[in-house]
Structure 1
């Protein structure tokens, strides 16, 4: 039996893509959903585009945007028994994407699901390689991909068992999936639910994203990071990148792969060490990670 569905979309300065995202959503075979848009201070035409579609709008200031806090607030205001998440830069690729995402939940086979993400046509070679590994065409997602919110769903009951964490800025989906896996909830990867989503981050933007992922992992995994681990990760990921770039005959991408992977893992190490320090000192303020990201957008 179909249950009432609320779709939550977070946006900020998404005018370049949110029209495609919303058009794709409202072109779905599934029509019976409520749309709740949470905008954190857009200064472009995002809100003008959003106003063309039926939705409820929540507006917050940019400085008030902390992912876990915002998601928990939106879910509390949602009317649905099943919550769907779609980022404002995610474009459904087939009219059945939403139905396929929801099917395991509605059949009683899953408490939460997440979709297969395909990179955009302009995605860099290293981004394509990462997405191929993270979101396979068949079978299960890799063990470290516990959950991915760009296009995902969960029951309200599952969320009530464990709301999104608010300890760090970012990786709220990874933390939720990690908790769910360790507490017997059924999280299903649905490769048939196809969406388009990727980012060609600059080195500056990449540093911000990886810093918050490192900080979050310190809270999620309660492990320790080291410079030796950094060296191993840089070497292994560069080797994988080199193969991908050589196969793609992408000489420019290959030339950038060493500095890119160094920044990728160095930022993660710095964030993780900061998270470890926060845990040791009992620092409950997640705003440092937020500022690292905002300064590098």
Structure 2
């Protein structure tokens, strides 16, 4: 049986420090230049030339038109036109942990057990203790398949899905309309919700692993969660039943236990400060319509989104 054709889509910006490792991983999986779609937002660090030197073409896009969903949809269209049956989405800083990541990631789709999958994210070696916990909490060591029937039990976790490293069956991707466009973030979560509502299964694949983590400052945590709140303020009917509060409380409770277990009680004030920043930012983001655009841009991690909204 011939395996389905696949393509890897990677939006990038100034990714020079990641090109070598990511390109090497693509070559190890025998991915050709016709199977890898690098969408570059006019990088200025020489990375387009690095990609080309590694044998992969680069499609330049206007940085001012970048859109989380729209840019990935562009890559998906290009890949589908080349005959891709499985669309693999990655970010530029997701480094595969081994040479089995692609086979593991796509196996549930090939077998028909799910139409979409996403990989486990491991913390970088230098990640802080709190960031290590975040990766292990959100990306545990056991796989799980989800359907619409899991929403009452899991709440917002039923829709959890990450484009850091994910795969979707191309025909189903287009049947549900692809990624939503012109939303501030969580285009991957919305896609997962649309797939579940359409009766499909998605699977978290713990055996597909990439190294990816971010040690955000308190200010960055605030701005990111302001955007999360803004996203949920405009979330459609697909996300009905996505109760967020309980999951947030569970995260903080388990994080406190984690730092105590690692004999780092000195981090408790930081855990509490982060929780307060996330909660207040989320609540403010949910009420963003009450704020002037200049203030929203200052509070947001994705400030360009508000410029794009103004242009409409």
- Both proteins in one fold, TM over 0.5: yes
Q: Alignment partner of 2:76: what SS?
A: helix
Q: How far did residue 91 of structure 1 move?
A: 0.7
Name stretches of at least 5 consecutive residues in structure 1 with no aligned partner. 279-284
Instruction: Find the counterpart in structure 2 of residue 49 from structure 1.
Output: 50
TM-score normalised by structure 1 residue count: 0.83
1:164 and 1:101 map into 2 onto residues whose CA distance is 19
Q: Please tell me whether residue 179 in structure 1 is matched to residue 179 in structure 2.
A: no
Name stretches of at least 5 consecutive residues in structure 2 with no aligned partner. 147-153, 305-312
2:85 and 2:298 map into 1 onto residues whose CA distance is 31
Contact 1:38 1:57 in 2 (8 A): yes
1:221–1:269: structure 2 CA closer, same or farther, 3 Å change rule? Answer: farther
Matches within 5 A, 1:181-260: 181-220=196-235, 237-260=251-274
Count of aligned pairs between the two proteins: 281
Cα offsets for 1:142-180 (capped at 9, x unmatched)? 941532111111111111112101241110001111111
Q: Alignment partner of 1:152: what SS?
A: strand
Q: Alignment partner of 1:149: what SS?
A: coil
Q: Alignment partner of 2:36: what SS?
A: strand
2:16 and 2:250 map into 1 onto residues whose CA distance is 37
Q: How far did residue 55 of structure 1 move?
A: 2.4
Instruction: Find the counterpart in structure 1 of residue 67 from structure 2.
Output: 66
Name the Cα RMSD after superposition.
2.9
Q: Please tell me whether residue 153 in structure 1 is matched to residue 154 in structure 2.
A: no
Cα offsets for 1:2-49 (capped at 9, x unmatched)? 122110011112223332222223223x54670000112322232232
Contact 2:86 2:169 in 1 (8 A): yes
1:50–1:254: structure 2 CA closer, same or farther, 3 Å change rule? Answer: farther
Q: How far did residue 249 of structure 1 move?
A: 2.5
1:172–1:90: structure 2 CA closer, same or farther, 3 Å change rule? Answer: same
Q: How far did residue 290 of structure 1 move?
A: 10
Q: How far did residue 236 of structure 1 move?
A: 5.6
Contact 2:145 2:202 in 1 (8 A): no
Q: Please tell me whether residue 166 in structure 1 is matched to residue 181 in structure 2.
A: yes
2:4 and 2:247 map into 1 onto residues whose CA distance is 44
